[in-house]
Copies of this chain bind each other. A is one copy, B any other.
């Protein structure tokens, strides 16, 4: 009984890592759809989002069942509680990747991101994707140090976003109002993917150390 319990708990964590992989793929493919105006890839990201939502529902139900049947305590309870929050963050990151893909689809055959901001978005998307990867890997390896680094990556994200605003709000923005609105929302989506990766990393630290990291760099939700 206890062995199957530990296996169930460990398989929840393993599947959370798989869910993170699926989210990372969604972010990477959404970026490809966006920057290459690739309709097929956009459609595929949008339709794959329901699989991520299903993983959410299934993992949440397994966590609930562990709580109901096993009444875990201490580190194991922390793991289950953290898992229930992480699935929500991961489902949300999947939604945000789908939002990026929807803007790519809406503007097809044009590219939603104007030429002058392609380097910025290329970098922003890479930072976001790396943050998702680090969150998943630090969970898999129970690596609080790497999880802790994510708050720094998030500072880089904030700088990239500020730089977008400087370009958009300069007097000589050469593109349309529509392009500015797209850039504002797309930047927001990548920024939120990064935020959720940081929140997930905070939960990884909590699983390992029993304490949530505190301070301005660590949002609660």
Identify A85's interface contact among B71, B73, B88, B185, CB under 8 A: B88
A51 contacts B by Cβ under 8 Å: no
Closest chain B CB from A131 CB (angstroms):
18
Q: Say yes or no: A92 contacts B221, CB within 8 Å.
A: yes
Q: Say yes or no: B177 contacts A173, CB within 8 Å.
A: yes
A116 contacts B by Cβ under 8 Å: no
Closest chain B CB from A82 CB (angstroms):
10
Q: Say yes or no: B81 contacts A67, CB within 8 Å.
A: yes
A154 contacts B by Cβ under 8 Å: no
Q: Say yes or no: B84 contacts A219, CB within 8 Å.
A: no
Interface string of A59-89 (1 = CB under 8 A from B): 0000010011001011001100100110111
Q: Say yes or no: A220 contacts B57, CB within 8 Å.
A: yes
A129 contacts B by Cβ under 8 Å: no
Query: What separation, in Å, do the CA atoms of A221 and B178 have in the docked complex?
Result: 28
Query: What separation, in Å, do the CA atoms of A81 and B85 have in the docked complex?
Result: 10
Query: What separation, in Å, do the CA atoms of A219 and B49 have in the docked complex?
Result: 12
Sample of 10 more A-B contacts, CB < 8 Å, known A57-B220, A165-B181, A180-B180: A57-B212, A67-B67, A68-B74, A84-B85, A168-B178, A169-B178, A173-B177, A177-B180, A180-B181, A188-B188
A residues lining the B interface (CB < 8 Å): 53, 56-57, 64, 67-68, 71, 73-74, 77-78, 81, 84-85, 87-89, 91-92, 95, 165, 168-169, 173, 177-178, 180-181, 184-185, 188, 212, 219-221
Could you pull out 23 A-B pairs where Cβ atoms are within 8 angstroms? Answer: A56-B220, A56-B221, A57-B212, A57-B220, A64-B81, A68-B74, A68-B77, A71-B71, A81-B84, A84-B85, A87-B221, A91-B220, A92-B221, A168-B177, A168-B178, A168-B181, A177-B177, A181-B184, A184-B184, A184-B185, A185-B185, A185-B188, A188-B188
